Amino acid sequence: MRLTFYGGAQEVGRVCMLLEEGPKNLMLDCGIKLGETTEYPLIHEDELLRIRNISVSHAHLDHSGYLPHVYSKKARPKIFMTKPTRDLIGVLLSDYQRIQAAKHEGKKLFGSKDVDDVMRDARIIEYLEPFQADFKVQFHSAGHIMGSAMTMIENGPKKILFSGDICMRKTRVLDPCERGLSAETLIVENTYGTKEDILPSYRESYQKMISIIKETVDKGGHIIIPSFAVGRAQEVLLALDDYMRSGAIPPMKIFMDGMIGKAMKIYRHNAIYANDDIKKRILMSEDDPFKSPNFHHPRSKTREDVLKEPCIIVTTSGMLSGGPVLFYLEKLAHDPRNAIIFVGYQAEGTTGNKVLQNEKKIQIYGKEVELKLRIESIRLSGHADFNELIQYIRSVKGLKRVFLMHGEKSELKDSIDKDYDVIVPRQLETYAI
Ligand SMILES: [Zn+2]
Ligand SMILES: [Zn+2]
């Protein structure tokens, strides 16, 4: 079998690999890399027409965003994903379509029809339900966001496991990823691939968040929490709601803005994929955590109600690359009583990363904005950290070969390469497995 990396090698973003044997092929993820400019998988248009199958590990655009491009080139591979992934990509791809149409006026790269067609054609696969995609394939739960999957590919005696993005901890909403699977080859993310990437416990991180919120509200300030629409936002919102109910943080409005509300609804519709705590709360007590009375949406486009009094604003985009968070920053950044709390990964080159590196002036809608508000970051990742990745890799039975991808630096290699054949792949390189 041959494995080619069209993206996601030594970078976080545009995950896209092709697994093939003779005429049989399966593309593993089909993502883009969003930043100041959008980067696409390094696959030639003509080659797309020979792709027969695509499996999608989860809805984040760095794993799914290239699907409508594939459709716009008239390729019609079979596409496989879980139900929450299908529902969530509907929101994310439509938003991406609007943004790119505005950017590339006149010569848009794909249309809303391509998004609709992807949604219509996607084949829904349950966890543990075997399916044929030239090879025998099965999804296992990955714990990263709702519907996220690890992909097990079987070809005769060969077993290849692609982790997708994984989380090893139980979160507010989800159970951790499945462990102890058997595979000879593992293709694993290493977003947190350096020795410094050891994350504190969620409890520690939330304690820090609670104190920042209390101190800010005491001064009469607003708290901005930039977040990805899907995944971190739901975790953070449910945690904030819990802490408010228990009295750990004072009562105030928690606003959600951007696509977070839509993603929240999809999480609610797919609550069967949540962990038992959430299911019990919904089924047995009619206490629906997704519809808490503490949650609010801005009442108008001017968002005056949000700016009026101290409150918490959870909004997109997570890395300050667009979305309503820029509106709030423009309005609130000048006042040192306010605070911004980062909760997610900030990729190199993004505005979020620059702010964390202490840059005090940023451009918003072509205007320079000085940041006088308090800037904090807590580590609440949906990814396995350095130590957890080692544990995960060691939990795979019969493992011989490890590809470390979806990471900027892979120091992880040094920790495991006495036990396995470890490869840090390069873009456009093909490996025999
Ligand atoms: Zn992800
Ligand atoms: Zn990812």
- Centre of ligand 2 to C-alpha 165, Å, is 6
pTM of the model as a whole: 0.95
Instruction: Give the ligand whose atoms come closest to the C-alpha of residue 232.
Output: 1
- Six token digits for residue 232: 């971190």
Instruction: Give the ligand whose atoms come closest to the C-alpha of residue 31.
Output: 2
Question: Which of 33-42, 131-140, 200-209, 245-254 is least confident?
Answer: 33-42
Q: Which of the two residues, 327 and 347, has the higher pLDDT score?
A: 327
Q: Supply the pLDDT for residue 264.
A: 97
Neighbours of ion ligand 2 (CB under 5 A): 62, 165
- Tens-place pLDDT, residues 358-402: 999 999 989 999 999 999 999 999 999 999 999 999 999 999 999
- Is residue 206's pLDDT more than 70? yes
Strand pairing class (361-364; 135-141): unpaired
Residue carrying structure tokens 């044997």: 21
- Centre of ligand 1 to C-alpha 165, Å, is 5
Environment class of 238 (CB within 10 Å of its CB; exposed 0-12, middle 13-18, buried 19+): buried
Q: Supply the pLDDT for residue 108.
A: 78
- Centre of ligand 2 to C-alpha 295, Å, is 28
- Is residue 35's pLDDT more than 80? no
Task: Check if the beta carbon of residue 152 is closer than 8 Å to that of residue 140.
Answer: yes
- Tens-place pLDDT, residues 152-190: 999 999 999 999 999 999 999 999 999 999 999 999 999
Instruction: Give the ligand whose atoms come closest to the C-alpha of residue 167.
Output: 1
Instruction: Give the ligand whose atoms come closest to the C-alpha of residue 92.
Output: 1
Question: Which of 57-61, 220-224, 274-278, 320-324 is least confident?
Answer: 320-324
Instruction: Give the ligand whose atoms come closest to the C-alpha of residue 229.
Output: 1
Q: Supply the pLDDT for residue 285.
A: 84
Amino acid found at 77: P
- The C-alpha angle with vertex 233 and arms to 231 and 236, in degrees rounded to 5, equals 110
- Centre of ligand 2 to C-alpha 10, Å, is 13
Mean pLDDT of the chain: 96
- Centre of ligand 1 to C-alpha 166, Å, is 8
Instruction: Give the ligand whose atoms come closest to the C-alpha of residue 381.
Output: 1
- Centre of ligand 1 to C-alpha 284, Å, is 31
Instruction: Give the ligand whose atoms come closest to the C-alpha of residue 62.
Output: 2
The SS3 of residue 52 is coil
| Cβ-based neighbours of 353, under 8 Å, separated by 6 or more | 319, 346, 347
For residue 201, give the DSSP letter. Answer: P
Q: Supply the pLDDT for residue 228.
A: 92
For residue 104, give the DSSP letter. Answer: T
Instruction: Give the ligand whose atoms come closest to the C-alpha of residue 149.
Output: 1
Task: Check if the beta carbon of residue 281 is closer than 8 Å to that of residue 246.
Answer: no
| Cβ-based neighbours of 103, under 8 Å, separated by 6 or more | none
Q: Supply the pLDDT for residue 200.
A: 95
- Is residue 344's pLDDT more than 70? yes
Q: Which domains are assigned to the chain?
A: 2-195+382-432 (3.60.15.10), 202-377 (3.40.50.10890)
Nearest to 151 by CA among 83, 58, 13: 58
Residue 81 backbone dihedrals phi, psi, to 5 degrees: -165, 170
Strand pairing class (16-21; 24-28): antiparallel
- Tens-place pLDDT, residues 63-120: 999 999 999 999 999 999 999 999 999 999 999 999 888 887 667 789 999 999 999 9
- Centre of ligand 2 to C-alpha 49, Å, is 25
CA atoms within 13 A of residue 351's CA, in its CB half-sphere: 22
